[in-house]
């Protein structure tokens, strides 16, 4: 687009639409001193006990757990697992929201689960 045309459009108030942050979900990474299977079970228990969430996706082969809170079109929390060593697993905890929902910068559910997992480290 020529600078003349761009300047003309700006002068009459036509501007580029603001971009929404794509792919920026509230998340935290926690490293557990556990083998991946034990970390998976610890997180699964955390979803149920700490968050009181219902697990909707339990795919051990894909190393993914996803839970929600029983209401339609509400936040879901997903945990994915990456083995860093025989007894060390990185867990990524992310909040997912319905389409069209502007995600907040932080998620109380993500923070509560990550805090509980970190507090259990070493026990």
Residue 105 lies in a domain: yes
Q: Does residue 60 lie within any of the structural domains?
A: yes
Residue 38: the pLDDT is: 96
Tell me if 12 is assigned to some domain: no
The set of residues, in sequence order, having a beta carbon less than 8 Å from that of 66 and lying 6+ positions away, is 55, 56, 57, 76, 77, 78, 79, 96
**Residue 21: band (very low, low, confident or very high) from pLDDT cuts 50, 70, 90:** very low
In a domain, 93, yes or no: yes
Structurally, the chain folds into a number of domains equal to 1
pLDDT at 123 over 90: no
> Considering the domain boundaries, does residue 1 fall inside one?
no
CATH number at residue 111: 3.30.530.20
pLDDT at 20 over 70: no
On whether residue 89 sits in a domain, the answer given is: yes
Residue 23 confidence (pLDDT) above 60: no
- Does residue 86 sit within a domain? yes
* 37 — pLDDT class (breaks 50, 70, 90): very high
* Position 84 in a domain: yes
Print the domain residue range for 44.
23-119
Residues 39-88 pLDDT 10s? 999 999 999 999 999 999 999 999 999 999 876 668 899 999 999 989 99
Residue 18 pLDDT > 80, yes or no? no
In this structure, the number of other CB atoms found within 10 A of the CB of residue 87 comes to: 13
């Amino acid at each position: 687009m020529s600078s003349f045309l761009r300047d003309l459009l700006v002068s009459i108030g036509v501007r580029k639409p603001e971009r929404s942050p794509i792919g920026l979900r509230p998340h935290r990474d926690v490293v557990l001193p556990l083998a991946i299977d034990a970390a998976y079970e610890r997180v699964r228990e955390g979803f149920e006990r700490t968050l009181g969430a219902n697990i909707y996706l339990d795919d051990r082969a894909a190393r993914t757990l996803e839970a929600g809170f029983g209401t339609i079109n509400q936040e879901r929390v997903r945990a994915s697992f990456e083995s860093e060593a025989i007894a060390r697993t990185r867990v990524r905890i992310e909040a997912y929201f319905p389409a069209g929902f502007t995600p907040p910068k932080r998620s109380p559910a993500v923070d509560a689960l990550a805090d509980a997992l970190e507090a259990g480290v070493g026990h």
